[in-house]
A and B are shown apart, each in its own frame.
Chain A
Amino acid sequence: MQLELDKMLAKIKDSQWALADIDWDAPGRELVTENKELYPKLKAFMADLMWIEHVGARGFAAMAKKAPTEDLREIYRYFHAEEQKHANAEMALMKRWGMLDDADTLPEPNINIRLVVEWLDTYADDMPLSVLGSVIPMLEITLDGALCKFLLDTVDDPVCHAAFEKINADEARHLGVDFHVLEMLGHGPLYRQTLEFVAKLLDPRLMIGIASYLPLLNKMRDNLVELGLKEEKLYTAVQKYERIGGTPGGRRNPWFRLISRQGRWVIDRANRAYHVPVDALVKLTAKIPPRALPPVPTWVKQLTWKPAA
């Protein structure tokens, strides 16, 4: 997938929208609030979704410091902000649906999110572009992509549809750039990529990251199934990562290969070798008392559902 980054940047700049463009008080909220069965599950789902957007935002912030060209750096600066915008918009939906406990507190992140936030805050800026640039497309295509589609299938509120029309349009551009970069990362001598890959895999900082990322995925999968998402949909999304990313350049990138392999494991419940330990990690992390974690980093505090400040 070849892409002219300067044109993409111009397109991104031309496609900006703001929370104020959406009428958050338009009729239709009862389609959610009066659905007693859906409501509590959706509340948990929205909180997860919004946190994942926010975590994605932080990932792009890290990438903005590593990108090899000025155009790509600028694109990542925009993506960082756009993911934040998605989180803000999703919070605005939660507000609309009465899912925020009070106007100034954020939805409670689950412990696995907290761990990922913690890891991102401590290590993301030290990770090379090859790691971030390979993980991000996976997150975007499965979580962002599949989740958003699913949400629209489940929720009838027109305001939700209006918001996600904009969010999805952004995501289409994100994916375009993500896979362009994935391909780009595969260039360069194979031996060097492999060496760097092995060296990085042994980096304890990355291991901690993997240890916080894997349970998050499993937990998310469980939440989704709970909400009624067909597992095949996730499976299709993971396959899409493999298919689009599997360009000649992509396949040469060891990170791509690791992540597609792992993606398959996540959705294959029969793979006990993977799921037994990871599910154990989910249970284990659930036991971590929130007090044991340091206070959330200040970048989290910039989240807001208020269209105007």
Chain B
Amino acid sequence: MNDIRIPGFKRRKKATIVVDETPKPSQKMVDVLIVGAGFAGLGTAIRLRQAGVHNVVILERGTEVGGTWRDNQYPGAACDIVSNLYSYSFAQNPDWSRSFSGSGEILGYIRQLVKRFDLERLIRFGQNVTGMVFDEPAGIWNVNTADGQTHRARAVVMCQGPLSNSSWPKIPGLETYRGHKIHSARWDHGYDFRGKKVAVVGTGASSIQIVPELVKQAAQVKVFQRTPGWVMPRPDYVSPEWSKKLFARVPAAQSAFRELLFWVHESMALGVVWTTPMTSVMERLMRMYLRSEVKDPWLRRQLTPDFRLGCKRILISNDWYKSLQAPNCELVTWPIAGMSPKGIRTVEGIEHQFDCIVFATGFDVSKAGSPFPVTGLGGRNLDSDWARGAQAYKSVNVSGYPNVFLTFGPNSGPGHNSALVYMEAQIGYIVRGVGKLLGEDLAVLDVKPEVQKAHNDEIQKRLRRTNWNSGCKSWYLTEDGFNSTMYPGLATQYRSQMARFDGKAYRTVPMTVREPV
């Protein structure tokens, strides 16, 4: 029995892959094809159907829904935005057990969505999308999957997730290590940490959740840090029974609470997105927190960030600093020189030997280039169009790629608020776009290049004033420092930008020859 599994979460029996049992070269055509069954893909399907679009299919490469929350089940995994806001406003859950719910509970919520909105039959599991090509005369996307199928759709919504491909760090000799290796986004629940010497590489959002749990189990934990982040304590509480009852009985009360949380986060943008007096106040508070938690000046120095707040994601934790000071834990800040069969060699010349190394090193984020080959008008491909940084119109449409919609597209990332707030705004916009495409029976709905360019010029101009572009290195930026991930503003601004679908921004071509369906 291993006790690191998140309580209340039962893993489904291994892989009952529901592969479409009737493979055929030309699949039935659908109105909307969605790639990915994470929060975004499922949310899009729900809203489309509520808007009357029923001919929808979701292709998911995995064997179950949930995306991020299916993959990230490491000990301690939880959201760092209060669950009431890290959930859909159109599907609120009165039962969140605590302020920041664990991964298992969030996955349970996602599964609940599938049940409640009857999505299961739309999903084709085991379908890894490998590319898609636009058939311009027909106004149809041909979407290919790894098993050789081609799906046909009037519109495609790409919901493959911003953080769905876990990445190993580029450490020389990584492959020579003989001990056990675990990636945070593919946890090995069978491994027993008791009595083991363990390394955790990385000190980002996942690591600060994993380390406090590992310290409780392993004999020794060494944490390898490159750059320290800003850490904020979180108001962690177990939801009182009365609030669950209240929210169940009076949904408006939960909406009001959600609204309050939204505005608390919005106000943080003033410190996080831009450098303002509030940034300094917040930095001062976090330094005071560090000081109160860490008495040793050298350790404190090692944990003090040398970039402005907001330049990278703020880390939220109550027990990170404490666990680093546990008797069986050590923070290693020497640069990593390479890996050897027995462990990690750092530049101070010492080989740190381990039974197991946990990589909490994050994800391959595609900031330049497309996640899979996408061929648009006149054979152009998204990969080269985005080679020097991804660009889109309002983060959802890309000129030259008609009838394609993105969630978490370029410059849609929140630095200070729930990803789902942004996602809902995108989904709303996509539903209106799809509505126009189908309602007016268009073959082509393509954002005008000059409109997209003007939008991006404005975004980049506004980005220049934000903390992300203030000279620090982070995964938000490409190698050349181009920011194609973050939205430079308040969630409120983003929402209002997405509230209207401006038909005039798009070039449209009506469908003339109707394909037989």
Contact = CB atoms under 8 A, between A and B. Distances in A.
Contacts of B343: 308
Interface string A32-46: 000000000000000
Given A16-B337, A18-B345, A77-B335, A309 B299 contact: no
Interface in B294-343: 296-299, 301, 306, 334-335, 337-338, 340, 342-343
A298 interface: yes
B298 A299 contact: yes
B370 to A, nearest CB: 28
A121 B473 CA distance: 28
B349 interface: yes
Given A16-B337, A18-B337, A309-B353, A125 B348 contact: no
B342 A19 contact: no
Given A16-B337, A297-B297, A70 B350 contact: no
A78 B335 contact: yes
B17 interface: no
Contact of A84 (B297, B298, B334): B334
A309 B301 contact: no
A81 B348 contact: yes
Contact of A309 (B297, B298, B335, B351): B351
Query: Chain B: interface secondary structure?
Result: mixed
Contacts of B338: 16
A81 B334 contact: yes
A144 interface: no
Interface of A: 13, 16-20, 65, 70, 74, 77-78, 81-82, 84-85, 88-89, 121, 125, 297-299, 302, 304, 306-309
Contact of A298 (B299, B340, B347): B299
5 contacts: A81-B347, A82-B347, A85-B348, A88-B349, A307-B351
Given A70-B473, A298-B299, A307 B349 contact: yes
B350 A16 contact: no
Q: Which 5 A-B pairs have the closest CB atoms?
A: A85-B349, A81-B347, A16-B337, A84-B348, A19-B349
Interface centre among B298, B299, B346 (most CB of A within 10 A): B298
B352 interface: yes
Given A65-B306, A81-B334, A20 B346 contact: no
Contacts of A88: 348-350
Secondary structure of the A contact surface, majority rule: helix
Nearest to B352: A309
A121 B352 CA distance: 26
B347 A78 contact: yes
A280 B323 CA distance: 48
Contact of B351 (A18, A65, A89): A18
Nearest to B347: A81
Interface in B418-467: none
Interface in B20-38: none
Given A78-B335, A298-B299, A299-B298, A84 B349 contact: yes
A17 B348 CA distance: 9
Given A18-B337, A20-B340, A309-B352, 11 more contacts: A13-B337, A16-B338, A17-B349, A18-B350, A84-B348, A85-B347, A298-B297, A298-B299, A307-B350, A307-B351, A309-B353
Contacts of B297: 121, 297-298
A62 to B, nearest CB: 10
B293 to A, nearest CB: 16
Nearest to A82: B347
Interface string B168-190: 00000000000000000000000
A161 B210 CA distance: 44
Interface residues of B, number: 23
Nearest to B353: A308
B334 to A, nearest CB: 5
Nearest to B226: A77
Nearest to A22: B349
A308 B340 CA distance: 11
A297 B335 contact: no
B308 to A, nearest CB: 14
Contacts of B351: 18-20, 307-309
Nearest to B197: A309
A18 B298 contact: no
Contacts of B296: 298
Interface string B23-66: 00000000000000000000000000000000000000000000
A77 B297 CA distance: 18
B168 to A, nearest CB: 18
B295 to A, nearest CB: 10
A304 B348 CA distance: 10
A81 B224 CA distance: 14
A81 B346 contact: yes
A270 to B, nearest CB: 42
A89 B335 contact: no
A74 B335 CA distance: 9
Contacts of B345: 16, 18, 20
Contacts of A77: 335
A101 B182 CA distance: 41
B215 to A, nearest CB: 18
B92 to A, nearest CB: 44
Given A18-B337, A65-B306, A306 B350 contact: yes
